Structure 1
C-alpha cells in the first residue's frame, strides 16, 4: 500500500446534518411544539436544575421554538435545558369557598 504525502490528503467535507443542542433546537422531536403552545396546552419553562438567574433575570439563551429560556441541560430536564409545564394556573389561589362541615364557623 502506497503512502500519501501531506499534499495528497484531502480534508473531510463538513457535516451539515449534525444535531447539536443549541438555543434554537430543530428536528422531528419538536414538530408539534408550536401547535401545543398555540392551544395553551402548557408551556416550556427554563429548567430549575440547570438554568441560573442573576437577581431574577434569566441568563440562558432564548429558544424561539420553545418560547422559553434554556439551561445547559441536566438530569431534571433530560439534557434539553427546559421542562414542559402543563399546570392549570387558573385554579391556583381559587377563591371558591371550601364546603363547610356542620359545626365549622
Structure 2
C-alpha cells in the first residue's frame, strides 16, 4: 500500500531560503531511494512555511528512506533556525 507524508516546517524568516535548500537536499535523498515515487518542496505564498511532501511504494520504502535522510545530520536537525516544531502527517492510500 502506498504511503505518503505532508510536513509543515516553520523556518525563521532569515533562514527561509537556507531551509528551502536543505529541504531540496532531503528530497534528493528520498528520490535516490528505491520505492520513492515523489518528493517535493513547496512554500506558502506568505513565505511563513515550507511544506514538503513525499510518496512511497510501501511503508518499508518510506522507513528505508527516513533512515537514509537521518544520515544527513544537520540538514534535517530541528534547531533555532525554526520558529516552532514541524507538523508531519503520515498518509495511507485508500
Q: TM-score, normalised by structure 1?
A: 0.26
Which has the bigger relative contact order, CA under 8 A and spacing at least 6?
Answer: 2
Structure with the higher helix share, 1 or 2: 2
Say which structure is richer in strand: 2
TM-score by length of 2: 0.28
